[in-house]
Structure 1
């Protein structure tokens, strides 16, 4: 039996994909300690894990990405927010290591201070990445812009030009504060933002085909462990099973990003269509007044699993969590990206044949109505994408990779 210490940021979209893998480690006989923000400590996801809260001062620092400004300015502000948590995270993980004496430390990719502490601890450590990996490779288009894979000489030239520019942009925002954190821990400075992933003992990427492009030159320590699907348990609402037209799920980000206009457009687009519409607003609940219509239901949150079992389409902000759930369920997606990693996720939906892309800047009720119709016609492609995703998904794949991190080499499927 080994002891794992897992340090996660207080974001459901980063915690929930860890749950299947951490439970699989527990079931294979390992001891799993999880550090997470206090508001998430007592949820049903913590069953069987040894969960304790992180330093409450960490969550008092607002790290939400700005909803206005240029892409570069928003990137700098978002990273600056995450980095400002760094000193507290580093000290917090140092305390957790002293308390638990782990064999392995796993750190959420956005917990930069904790990653510095893990690296400085001298223990085996890894990064958990709950989205697509921003790493150049043969045939991989520049990350974050939602570009299709290159075809022909001009496309390959595009990639050769844009990748260095993007790496430089990320480096300008990320390296100065990260290297300041590293200096405080006695670590040498990084010269590229890619080094953050490349120096870890292992990177567990919580996705895979069909949303990840095939890679022929990925470093051996980067492991694609497939989609890790977790939905908090809850009763299926009785109204979901009432007879009527097919359901369309419309959902906004669980971390507020000013995307409530997606819900407005969806309500206007679908109010007179032969569908029933469930709009879940999460942190945007109460921020927007939606037009009333007999076929529209608005909730703060409903577990996605039962809805997806009955859905004809999903309209979403292109968050990785809802996209992977929809693809797993074989439900076609209308991906409307607003920021963060969402343009890249939306592009992967299209390339996987799992739905359509409608850029937020082009969002209107008429265009959204047409996009829903197109997506619904792609059910066969969505089902094929589901089969590809489910072939390599699940907590056991995560657990086997995490055991390799413990050993430093491949190990058997039995618990250590």
Structure 2
């Protein structure tokens, strides 16, 4: 079969799709990608034939702000994800799909225009979870604006995800909206890392891994507070700034090392605590390693992810004005000592290990397509 994966041009939208895409390719299927121009080369570097498609979230935000200003955040988000982003995707895939004729379209959940384009072309489609479902209040506001995506028919339980989804969330932090979809394929969250070296760490000293992901928000200010607080503890701190400049933090204490991208799966296997922004990939990667987490959410669905960690007993959160060097030091120190939180995180690790791996889900997906 030929399978098209569609995603927005951002690391947090591309990387979660790679394990399943590779499993499908390994099983002998032809896998191609469609994404924004800025990430075409990045997907090609991973070995996938890739087509330019749609616009970036940043481009959509610029246009949404031009239309509405900065006052109504909900209106900005609805304009971006119910109008600008999906219409650009529908337009580009509308001409691409008849040319390449895939047997299935797999789209990451924020790229709902791909579902519309696939439906228009008569091609089966499945969403791939990369985060949490849209909050109910935003769904109510967005539903009228997104009716065109579903051809005026009944809206699905989640406006982005449709009725069939690949779900990465283990039960301990599962999204109930996704769990209730008509057809759900459970997939073990599997880390994908760029081929970058593992920074040297001292195995005899506790390691705290600190990252705020690949989307900046107000990352530098929060990173400085976190570095200041964590450096006071008797630990070594590894900071990953992703595509950012490691020099942005300036001089750091002797027990702190700053890097760009790191092999996160290897890092968490050696870490004792993860302090992060609440991004889905880092949340799931830390849970898969059985580690307690301190979330410092900055935007998007990071606040919901942080709340899920707290509710599950696998971590704590500091948000907004709560973030300070003193607060980070206190919370991190507590988590490093707290065996109850660590035991709960280990149970989550064991649950994740028992979930179906990408190879098994690839087989499920192909069987599902044959049944459409």
Task: Give the TM-score of the pair, scaled to structure 2.
Answer: 0.85
Quick one: structure 1 residues 44 and 210, their matched pair in 2 at CA, closer, same or farther if it must change by over 3 Å? Answer: same
Deviation at 1:216, TM superposition (A): 11
Kindly report the root-mean-square deviation, in angstroms, between the aligned alpha carbons of the 2 structures: 3.1
One of 169, 175, 182 as aligned partner of 2:143: 175
Q: For residues 390 and 207 of structure 1, what CA distance do their matches in structure 2 show?
A: 12
Partner of 2:101: 101
Partner of 2:151: 188
Structure 1 residues 190-339: aligned runs within 5 Å = 194=157, 196=159, 199-200=162-163, 202-212=164-174, 218-237=180-199, 239-240=200-201, 242=202, 245-282=205-242, 285=245, 289=249, 292-339=252-299
Partner of 2:128: 128
Deviation at 1:328, TM superposition (A): 0.9
Contact conserved, 2:157 with 2:181, CA < 8 A, in 1?
Answer: no
User: Which 5+ residue runs of structure 2 have no aligned equivalent?
Assistant: none
Q: For residues 219 and 309 of structure 1, what CA distance do their matches in structure 2 show?
A: 33
Point out the more displaced range, 321-330 or 39-48.
Answer: 39-48
Quick one: structure 1 residues 132 and 390, their matched pair in 2 at CA, closer, same or farther if it must change by over 3 Å? Answer: farther
SS in 1 for 2:126: strand
Deviations 1:362-407 (A, max 9, x none): 1122221121122222333222211111210531243134224312
Deviation at 1:306, TM superposition (A): 2.5
Deviation at 1:291, TM superposition (A): 5.5
2:59 is aligned with 1:61: yes
User: Which of 1 and 2 has higher RCO (CA within 8 Å, sep 6+)?
Assistant: 1
Partner of 2:315: 355
Quick one: structure 1 residues 254 and 42, their matched pair in 2 at CA, closer, same or farther if it must change by over 3 Å? Answer: same
Quick one: structure 1 residues 223 and 393, their matched pair in 2 at CA, closer, same or farther if it must change by over 3 Å? Answer: closer
2:9 is aligned with 1:10: yes
SS in 2 for 1:210: helix
Q: For residues 17 and 224 of structure 1, what CA distance do their matches in structure 2 show?
A: 14
Contact conserved, 1:335 with 1:357, CA < 8 A, in 2?
Answer: yes
Q: For residues 203 and 109 of structure 2, what CA distance do their matches in structure 1 show?
A: 44
Deviations 1:191-211 (A, max 9, x none): 6573635754x2222323322
Deviation at 1:250, TM superposition (A): 1.0
Task: Give the TM-score of the pair, scaled to structure 1.
Answer: 0.77
Contact conserved, 2:268 with 2:286, CA < 8 A, in 1?
Answer: yes
Contact conserved, 1:126 with 1:405, CA < 8 A, in 2?
Answer: no
Deviation at 1:176, TM superposition (A): 4.4
Point out the more displaced range, 7-16 or 213-222.
Answer: 213-222
Q: For residues 47 and 105 of structure 2, what CA distance do their matches in structure 1 show?
A: 18
User: Which 5+ residue runs of structure 1 have no aligned equivalent?
Assistant: 135-142, 144-165, 410-416
Q: For residues 281 and 305 of structure 1, what CA distance do their matches in structure 2 show?
A: 16
Partner of 1:372: 332
Deviation at 1:315, TM superposition (A): 0.5
Higher normalized helix content (fraction of residues):
2
Partner of 1:81: 80
Quick one: structure 1 residues 34 and 291, their matched pair in 2 at CA, closer, same or farther if it must change by over 3 Å? Answer: same
SS in 2 for 1:334: strand
2:356 is aligned with 1:396: no
Query: After the TM superposition, which segments of 4 or more aligned residues of structure 1 sit over 6 Å from their partners?
Result: 214-217
Deviations 1:328-363 (A, max 9, x none): 112221112222111221122233332222233311
| Number of residue pairs the alignment of both structures matches | 363
Q: For residues 227 and 106 of structure 1, what CA distance do their matches in structure 2 show?
A: 17
